[in-house]
A and B are shown apart, each in its own frame.
Chain A
Amino acid sequence: MTRYMLKRVAFMVLSIIVVSAATFWMMHSVPGNPLATRARKNLPEQVLANYNKKYGLDKPVSTQYALFVKNALKGDFGESIIYPGQQISKTIAKTAPVSGKLGLISIFFGFTIGVAFGFIAALNRGKWPDFLVITIAILGVTIPSFVMASLLQYFFGAKLKWFPITYRKGNWKSFVMPITALSFGTIATYARYMRSSVLEVINSDYVLTARAKGVTEMGILFKHILKNAMIPAVTILGPQITGVFAGSFIIEKIFNIPGLGQFLVSSIGSRDYPFIISTTVLFGFLFVLSQLIVDIVYGFLDPRIKLAE
């Protein structure tokens, strides 16, 4: 187990290095200069040269990358090119918690409600709870998150006035609609996965054996059925986490939430090298970390899977 963990952590570090290097190379291979923005188009040659020197853009790409890694290890991601004087680490520290809060709460609700719905649907196969869950699942898979967000804004924000239409700091109510819009698709995905998984597990030999041995119905439901049916649901947790964080970009835009997504989109458009690389490393880290967590949880859920292998 320890050997496996060390191996995975080593791969995590390698992945982040490769991702940051690839991003660095891709950004620098695009023709043009990020300093040639509208505000600085008519700058004298000397001033432009000074700017290039300040941001290290006059150095070879490999040197720039080495410098970035060296500073990043100290927690310094440099200064934004587009917004001079704005420290990237401070911007990330300010915006990442907002995106993180939105994303993590959405994943939590998406996972728990989705698993519960799928479980209930499978246990009531062919009855009204099953049809209700199937309907929710179909709607969740069918309706894009931005459409869901618009519908929520229209009905619960504008018409019923239950929740504020846009984000307001310190007001928990302003988080209800974004979280609902973001977690709806996740609920649907997990409900579908869980339903088919539970239906498969219910008819397995070990459930029959447990019944024959006189295990209580609750014991069978939670210890045998739920635990084993959770395995397929856990496998898609990794992609779901990254999917939710990607989806949060659009939700942040619709509800005007000052999260990382808003900044990333504008920074890519204006080619703010330091900001793009920093956020890409952050998202890469999140992705690899979620994969690691999934692997570990997978090992605990299924004793047949030996993590060391």
Chain B
Amino acid sequence: MEKEIKDTNLNITPEMFKRIPRDDIEAEKIARPIITFWEDVWRRLKMNRAAMLSIGIIILLVFMVIAGPHFNKFSFKEQNAQALNISPNGTYWFGTDTAGRDIFTRVWVGGRVSIVIGLVCAFIAMIVGVAYGSIAGLVGGKVDNIMMRIVEIISCLPYLLIVILVCLWLNKTNLGSILLALSLTSWTGTSRMVRGQVLSVKNEEYVLAARTLGVPTWKVIIRHIIPNVLAIVIVGLTFDIPGFIFSEAFLSYMGIGLQPPDVSWGIMSSEAQTQMMFYPYQLFFPTLMIALTMLSFTLLGDGLRDALDPKLRK
């Protein structure tokens, strides 16, 4: 029997309480919606202001390299003897160079080359590096040893030499030859990184548990190895893109990359460097774009690394 509760201060009576039947199935339900790993990554990436700002800058840069050259009437090749070395103004928004060409148009046309090189080379490096590193890590033993020695030997070759030789082989220096030359050796870093990750992941307890439970090897690779390697590869990819943009700029600056009348941020920087003491704005705009692109991808890489780190999952 229930005793009547008497409390002079609160006046609590049994009528105030309602008995609720307990449903075991309902009690086990999780109130929070189930989210996938990638949804969780996106949720945490959204909380990173710097990473979100960098995504915004990248989108803006991509939009500008596509649409920017159409914002005014000038061509990136068009020379004007009456408009040499004009400082930024209402007509020439970023000024003109020593040949009277509009820097605003040239910056965005040049950006196409730089961004294409960054994205394509990084993508090739990722595909080749992941394939090579995964094979080395999974097979192990002598195969792994030989494969990694090959990587070390390739790393010994100065990429300057490879770029110039590829250009000599193809008998021309254009976007294709630069892409080929930079991609030939760029995958070595990714392959090392992937191999290391595969070696550590394949000996983890959860992989061992899956194998013990009789899960097929292909399923182990897809469910356990690839997701764990993918995170570090995506981060590596975002760090590789600015690296390739810098490599292109470096080669053009040295006079062994793309050749005028082609234009890239590297070519523009190289041409402007000789005039820097007198017309610093000519160097400012292309280098600002290189810096902005490198900064954006670096911050995005940092943000992705934090978002993809399983240890940080809440």
Chain A positions within 8 Å of B, measured between CB atoms, are 11, 15-16, 18-19, 22-23, 26-27, 29-32, 138, 141-144, 146-147, 150, 153-154, 158, 239, 242, 246, 249-250, 253-254, 264-265, 268-269, 271, 276, 280, 283-284, 287-288, 291
With A147-B290, A249-B254, A250-B254 as known contacts, state yes or no: A23 contacts B277, CB within 8 Å.
Answer: no
Q: Other than the known A23-B157, A268-B256, what 4 A-B pairs have Cβ atoms closer than 8 Å? A: A22-B153, A144-B287, A144-B291, A268-B160
With A138-B298, A142-B294, A253-B254 as known contacts, state yes or no: A22 contacts B157, CB within 8 Å.
Answer: yes
Report how far A23 CA is from B298 CA in the complex, Å: 34
Interface pair B161/A150, CB less than 8 Å apart: no
Report how far A15 CA is from B287 CA in the complex, Å: 38
Interface pair B298/A280, CB less than 8 Å apart: no
Report how far A276 CA is from B157 CA in the complex, Å: 11
**B249 near A: Cβ within 8 Å?**
yes
Report how far A146 CA is from B248 CA in the complex, Å: 13
Shortest A30–chain B CB gap in Å is 5
- B269-301 vs A, CB cutoff 8 Å, 1 = contact: the mask equals 100010011001001000100110011001100
Shortest B191–chain A CB gap in Å is 14
**B168 near A: Cβ within 8 Å?**
yes
Interface pair B256/A265, CB less than 8 Å apart: yes
Interface pair A265/B295, CB less than 8 Å apart: no
A265: B residues at CB distance < 8 A: 160, 254, 256
Shortest A135–chain B CB gap in Å is 11
Chain B positions within 8 Å of A, measured between CB atoms, are 149, 152-153, 155-162, 164-165, 168-169, 171, 189, 242, 246, 249-250, 253-254, 256, 269, 273, 276-277, 280, 283, 287, 290-291, 294-295, 298-299
Report how far A265 CA is from B159 CA in the complex, Å: 11
**Contact among B165, B168, B273 for A254, CB-based, below 8 A:** B273
A250: B residues at CB distance < 8 A: 250, 253-254
Contacts A/B (CB < 8 Å), 25 sampled: A11-B149, A15-B149, A19-B153, A22-B153, A23-B161, A26-B161, A26-B162, A29-B169, A30-B168, A30-B169, A31-B171, A138-B295, A138-B299, A141-B294, A142-B294, A143-B291, A144-B246, A144-B291, A146-B273, A150-B283, A150-B287, A246-B159, A265-B254, A269-B256, A284-B157
Interface pair A26/B156, CB less than 8 Å apart: no
Report how far A197 CA is from B295 CA in the complex, Å: 22
B161: A residues at CB distance < 8 A: 23, 26, 268, 276, 280
Report how far A4 CA is from B113 CA in the complex, Å: 46
Report how far A22 CA is from B161 CA in the complex, Å: 11
Report how far A249 CA is from B159 CA in the complex, Å: 12
With A30-B169, A143-B291 as known contacts, state yes or no: A284 contacts B276, CB within 8 Å.
Answer: no
With A26-B165, A138-B298 as known contacts, state yes or no: A146 contacts B250, CB within 8 Å.
Answer: yes
A246: B residues at CB distance < 8 A: 158-160
Report how far A264 CA is from B160 CA in the complex, Å: 9
Task: Name the 5 nearest CB pairs between A and B, nearest first.
Answer: A284-B156, A142-B295, A147-B287, A268-B164, A30-B168
B250: A residues at CB distance < 8 A: 144, 146, 250
Interface pair B156/A19, CB less than 8 Å apart: yes
Interface centre among B153, B277, B283 (most CB of A within 10 A): B153
